[in-house]
Amino acid sequence: MTLDTKAFSDVVAATVKEYVQREALDRIDALEKRLAEVEASGLRFLGVWQRAVDYRRGSVVTSEGSSWVALKATSPAEKPGDCDAWALVAQRGRDGRVA
């Protein structure tokens, strides 16, 4: 029995292509579901950050004059600016002039 390397190579290439396409489609589906969840829940402004409160992803709080959004669920005492659970939305600046 002789090994037909061209046929073998074609089968391997087709199998790899199918696997990669299936993996890509699975990842796209997962990302679309995650995006739909984010869009459905939106951002929720919850006022001044409180140490004893659990926040969910999408929660927006103020802390020391800056605004922060939770990137994931946080546990109590995960203070904005002190951990990677929060992203800065607007940084506190110099007081503006009163018109």
Alpha helices in 42-77 (DSSP H): none
Q: What are the C-alpha distances in Å from 3 to residues 7, 12, 15, 40, 88?
A: 9, 14, 18, 56, 61
Specify the 3-state DSSP secondary structure of 90.
Answer: strand
* pLDDT value of residue 99: 56
11 found inside a domain: yes
The verdict on 55 and 29 lying in the same domain is no
Instruction: Decide if 97 is inside a domain.
Output: no
Task: Give a yes or no: residue 95 inside a domain.
Answer: no
In a shared domain, residues 66 and 56? yes
Instruction: Give the per-residue pLDDT at 98.
Output: 60
Residues 33 and 2 in one domain: yes
List, for residues 34-90, the tens digit of each pLDDT value. Answer: 888 777 877 899 999 999 999 998 999 999 999 999 999 999 989 999 999 999 999
Which residue range forms the structural domain that includes residue 6?
1-41
Structure confidence at residue 2 as a pLDDT band (50, 70, 90): low
**19 lies in the same domain as 37:** yes
